[in-house]
Amino acid sequence: MRKLFIAVTVLIFVLILILPFSSIVVSAFQKGVGPFLEALIRPEAIHALTVSLVIVVIVVLLNTVFGILLSLEIMRGTWITKWLRPVLNVIVDLPFSVSPVIGGLMIILLFGPNTLLGIFFEHVGVKIVFALPGMVMATIFVTFPLMIREIVPVLAELGISSEEASATLGAHPLRTFFQVTWPSIRWAVCYGIVLTIARSVGEFGAVLVVSGNIINQTQTATTLVYQDSVDNNIIAANSVALLLGLFSVTVLLILDWLKKRKEDKFHAH
């Protein structure tokens, strides 16, 4: 029975992961390396990859800063009562249970051209929907829980005794954070950053809704793959998809390396 379960697991793994990825590789190189490289260096692809990179950088920076701050407030905030903490946890986990498409639609309903907020921001020269700010907001919506869900369990395990001792000795809150809290949560932050990068690069639904998928303006790498597929440009679609797939694999390998390094340092101590 055990061998049967292992065989079924391997079969599912091959059918769901190996065969589709192999198909992408074969399709990307079916006419040789030349068309593959041409698909990646064409203006549309370079622009889409650049936009994706800009979004990733902005989202990682914002998620890291606000993720740490909100995690500290959830676990250390004196104003948070016993009944409020579960409510905050539900709100943080909301993107996990809501479709990204709905998240994108919410942004359009709030900041669309015909809404009060949309009109206000356009009046001051900031376009949200069908522009980079809306795409960043959509990506933050789907990635925000990743950082918090890595940090909160570590803070819960750490407790407050060390931080209280530091404060009792007269240390400034910032000094307490960097000397006591940060060393304990830095690996969790690293995990959160890696997961945020992987999720940001692969986001499609929310970004497609908010961006409008305008060529050479608001296309990301994932929406470009979608557009190439619709246009029956299969080699180009699979070429960009392969690049994204290889990037995701690299990110996962980095995450695995970080975990092993953390374990090695833990055993060393």
pLDDT interval class at 238 (50, 70, 90): very high
- pLDDT of 69: 92
What CATH code is assigned to 43-268?
1.10.3720.10
Domain ranges, ordered by start, for the chain: 1-30, 43-268
Residues 6 or more apart whose CB falls under 8 angstroms from that of 132 comprise 51, 54, 55, 218
* Closest among 208, 200, 199, 213 to 101, alpha carbons compared: 208
pLDDT in tens, 37-62: 999 999 999 999 999 999 999 999 99
- Averaged pLDDT, 255-269: 74
- Averaged pLDDT, 16-27: 86
**Residues 189 and 235 sit within 8 Å (Cβ to Cβ):** no
Q: How far is CA 173 from CA 72, 128, 134, 208, 210, in A?
A: 12, 36, 34, 42, 39
- pLDDT of 269: 59
